[in-house]
Structure formats: structure tokens, C-alpha cells
Amino acid sequence: MSQRNLAWLIAVPALVVFVAVLAATAPPPEPQYKQVRTIVDVLADVEKNFYRELTQKEKQQLVEDMINGGLQKLDPYSEYFNEERLKQFAADNKGVFAGIGAYLGVDPKTGVLKVDSPMPDSPALEAGLQADDLILKIDGKETDNMRYDEARTHIKGEPGTTVKLTILRPSAGTTFDVDIKRAIIQIHPVKGFARRPDDPTKWSYLADEANKIAYIRLSEFSETAGQEVKAALKEAEAAGAKAVILDMRGNPGGLLRLSIEISDLFLGGGYIVRTRDRHETGRDEQAGNDGTAWESADKMPMVVLVNRASASAAEIVAAALQDNGRAAIVGERSYGKGSVQKSFTAPDEKSALKLTTERWLTPNGKNIHRWPESKETDEWGVRPDAGFEVKMTPEQIIQTILHQREAERIKPKANGGTKPPDKPVVDAPAPKKKVDPDQPEPIKLDPNFKDPVMEKALEHLRKKVAG
């Protein structure tokens, strides 16, 4: 569909009656006009005969639902974006949002909203918030009866505006108010192995100090992913890294060009990905030779971790490194999302169409996409190398996620860390909300848990490092 037709379609509700009147005198329709005319006729019938009159907003929503319903039948990755959704899509790709910069959760003992961890370089950290602080009020409104998503909406807001939180700090037994100025928050897609003791806002990238094995976890392919992976590799190299683990488990993908950029960091040549359109034409992306140690499997052995939630751009990187013999793939078969979407923005730049325009193949020409009719025995996704598939129980998967989250937390230092802000202690009641006794106990972090996928990767790289 052309951008002009799309722009016309989203204005249909206001014009529906006018178009219906003119239809009798219209010239003989072309095939595309017939298709659009069908939609116009349906909307005209709704306008005239529905049991109640629709508001302008409801008419607009009806058109958007018709478009998205049809697109979803064609392809689950194609989508129409209205103005609000387009802004959110752009923000997601950039890895930014406006707020205070804190990961939020729910306290398992009381069910009250809590701070899981402030983010590095965030207003929340600067204001003195700590992990496990309970949020009793948001701008004077008690959080007892707030839904989680409702509380998040209240905390987020326009950059430069202020939100007042009433905080209970269980570790100190104090309750205080804190005013936090919202700002643009940068989400960092690269994580290391553990927070540095001397500076918890920064990462240590060595998972095995004795064997100098680095660990980099890439959670998504947002705008800063390439530069952050490169910076992490430099830090790991400065720490004496002799091998590297790239963990992309749970990575849903992102921008195609970033998957090419990141693959190129580890390859000194060869194809990265091949894309093909409806005419079986496309482009074959190749890696350049920068002469860095990270491009050599001999100098810097490498393992890539994937699981059933590793998709799209994550699969491009994994397949490129596997097909070029650069890295061993450890874990389980990936998701199988081998299609490329492009955005076509309307002339007013207030809406867009995200449409699947290409599919991609691995350097060796293998299919990655898992079609609706694909069987388990068919070729799709990225499979672990022979002998490196690791099946995990649901309990092991949960423990792995819990340990990843625990590693991300910026915890107070042993001496007590950041003190409560310089505000008077307020008279606020203890949390009244209690967890439903019929709910199952939340799974707790097992301090003795060993991630079997990581253990397999470390075992392989220790042998490589030892020669």
C-alpha cells in the first residue's frame, strides 16, 4: 500500500459519508480502488446503521484495528503505528525513556511497590534511592491499591518535571519524602558478570579470573548496542581476557544494522547475513578485517549463548559466528525469526507502517525463519553445536533469570551506602497491603545455583585457554 493511500485511509472516518455520496459518480475503479472502496463501504454502513453514534476517536480506532487485523493475518511482524505508538517504537529502538531511572518490582512480603535497583547515572541514584526501598506514596497518593502498571505511569513523565515519592527504607527503619526530577533515561543493553565492588554503577567483565574468561550479556539491539559491546571488549582486553562468552539468551533482537556491526567486531572476513526480497534479490553483508584480537578464533576463543527466546538480530549474530567457525553455540535452539521489517512513514510523520519486506539467510544460505507450518524437524532457528545443547528445567530457567537480575542490582555498599536524602522524616503508616495467602510462595534466589549453560561454556573455554 502506498504512503498516500495509507494517509488517506486513516482520515476515512471524517469523510465516510461524503465519499459514499460521491461514489455513484466516480470513474470506473481500478483493482486497488475497489479494495479501498470495500473498506469505505463498511465504514459508511457503520456510520449510518450502528446502534449508537461513534465518537471520532472510536472511528479512528476502528480503522486502525481494521488495518492491524489484516496485517496480522499477513504477517505477525507487520504493524500500523499511530502517532503515540510511533513515538514509543522510536524510543524503544533508541533505548531511551523519560522517568526517574529505577527498576521497579513488588515486595514479596507486603505486596508493596519497591525499588529493585536504581539505574547508573540516573535521577533515582542521584536522589539516594536504594535497592529494596518501598514506595508508599507517589505525589501523595498511596500505592496500596495501585496496580503495578498504574504506579509506573505515575512515576514516569515529561523530562524536567518532578515527582515526590514517600519511601520506607526497611534496612534503616526510616520513612522520608524525596523529590526527584525526571529526565531522559538511557537503557544500557550491555551487562557484565558482576558489579564492581569499588563502583557498583560499573561492570566487571571477567567471569573466570584465573583463566581470564570474559562475559558480556547483550539484552537487545538498541541504538547504543554496538558501541557498548565495543567498550566492554576494550575493558575485558585491558583486564587480560583470553576468551569471551557472549550471552544473548532472551535477546528479542532489534536493528539489523547493529547485528551486522556487532558480528563484524568478531569476524575478520566472510559473510555475515544474506537478505532476500520478493524478487529473490538482496544484499550479502560481509565482515571487514580490522586486525583485532577479537576477530581471531585462535587468539580469542569464543562461545555464544542462545535459548528459545533469542530472536532476530540475536540469531543473525549467532549464525554468522557459527557459520564462519568463529564461536561455539551453547544452549538451546533459538526462536526462528528470520524476517526483516522496514518502516514507511506517512507524509505528516505522525504515523507509519512497519512491513515485512525481506527474509534473511545465514552465511551458508540456511533458512532461519520459523513459518506457522514449520515442524520441529524442519530447518529454522540456530541450533547449538554438536555436544553443546543444554536442556534446562523450568526451575533452572527461573534461577538463571533471578541470578541475572541480582547481578544487575546496584546495591548499597557494606557501610550502609547512600544515606536517606536530606529531607525531614515523614509520618507515614507502615504498608497495609498484604500478599494473598492463597498465592504460592515466590521462588527465592538459590545462592548455590550453577547456571548449566554457563558451566558448559566455561568448561569449553577453559580447555581452549589451556591449549
From the candidates 263, 312, 334, 351, which is the catalytic residue? 312
What the block records as the C-alpha cell of 70 is: 489484516
Which of 98, 158, 153, 163 lies closest to 129, judged by CA? 163
What the block records as the C-alpha cell of 336 is: 526462528
What's the sign of the alpha-carbon dihedral 420, 424, 427, 428? negative
312 included as an active-site residue: yes
Cβ atoms of 305 and 247 closer than 8 Å: yes
Bridging pattern class, strands 243-247 and 302-306: parallel
From the candidates 323, 339, 456, 464, which is the catalytic residue? 323
What is the maximum alpha-carbon separation in the chain?
83
Bridging pattern class, strands 113-118 and 96-99: unpaired
Continuous segment of H or E residues that includes residue 24 = none
From the candidates 337, 354, 456, 464, which is the catalytic residue? 337
Rounded to an integer, what distance in angstroms lies between the CA atom of residue 201 and that of residue 276? 42
DSSP 425: B
Question: Nearest 5°: phi and psi at 130?
Answer: -125, 160
Question: Nearest 5°: phi and psi at 147?
Answer: -75, 160
Which of 414, 403, 379, 389 lies closest to 451, judged by CA? 403
**Which string of DSSP letters, residue by residue, matches 237-289?**
HHTT-SEEEEE-TT---B-HHHHHHHHHHH-SSSEEEEEE-TTS-EEEEE---
**To 10 degrees, what angle do helices 56-74 and 12-22 make?**
90
222 included as an active-site residue: no
Bridging pattern class, strands 134-138 and 162-169: antiparallel
Tell me how crowded residue 8 is: count the other CB atoms within 10 A of its CB: 16
Q: Which residue has the cell 533515582?
A: 124
Query: Which residues are tagged catalytic?
Result: 312, 323, 337
